[in-house]
Copies of this chain bind each other. A is one copy, B any other.
């Protein structure tokens, strides 16, 4: 993740202990933490870090395009550091587990011109839902 920190510093990002810890927490391939989870994990390494700072830092990472904001359930947003590989999400309707998935083709092309109503369409998010193997096995 020092890649990320280097890149950010190059963009004039001031590097503080708090920001470093947040970036470290978000290091990983299939990470989808809520802000609260990030705060708890960050506080494990830097106990005095405040919620406001975590929210600020996450917001900046999103603006900088280093992290994607995902809201799959209308509850807390989740933060996905896998921003440099185009992907979609597969969510378990029962336990909420999230997986990154890759689809055939570009979903943008599936929206016909007349269905764009003059919008400059620039982005598309696709969320698949279903029951994960874990939940379908242990039928509650």
Contact = CB atoms under 8 A, between A and B. Distances in A.
A47 interface: no
A52 interface: no
A122 interface: yes
Given A71-B71, A101-B115, A104-B112, A129 B123 contact: yes
B115 A103 contact: yes
Contacts of A132: 117-119
Number of copies: 2
Contacts of A119: 90, 92, 99, 128, 130-133
Given A103-B110, A107-B107, A110-B104, A124 B129 contact: yes
A24 interface: no
Contacts of A77: 74
A131 B131 CA distance: 34
Interface of A: 69, 71, 73-74, 77, 88, 90, 92-93, 99, 101-105, 107-108, 110-112, 115-133, 136
